[in-house]
Amino acid sequence: MSTEISLFHIATDADANAYASAGIYRCASLETEGFIHCCNRIQLIGVTERYYETVDDVQLLLLDADKLESALILENTVGGTELFPHIYGPINGAAIIDIVPFGIHSTERLGLFL
């Protein structure tokens, strides 16, 4: 059985490195907004363009929503109709399929725009 990537989260290098040490993923938005911002594959290009166009020190978390221990809610917190996945709690290690480089010149990011 293959693991399905169902969610993505763009993490700072510092947050991804802290996960490597702690075994559980947290980021600033969990403390300030109460949830971790995520997106699906279709939303990833727009999120990258809007918020990370010039940000190089990031990594991409590939997540399996079925393995999350924290609540996952699809919602729009800023107006509009597009629903985004938000994780209300830390991300447990079993839900993280992989963490890949996602800097400006990374193969993963460049591949989005080809």
The three state secondary structure string of 39-92 is ECHHHHHHHHHHHCCCCCCEEEEEECHHHCCCEEEEECCCCCCCCEEEEECCEE
Q: What does pTM read for this prediction? A: 0.92
Q: What is the pLDDT of residue 48?
A: 96
Q: What is the pLDDT of residue 3?
A: 59
Q: Which positions of the chain have pLDDT values less than 70?
A: 1-3, 114
* CATH number for the segment(s) 7-112: 3.20.170.20
Task: List the structure tokens of 100.
Answer: 């890949």
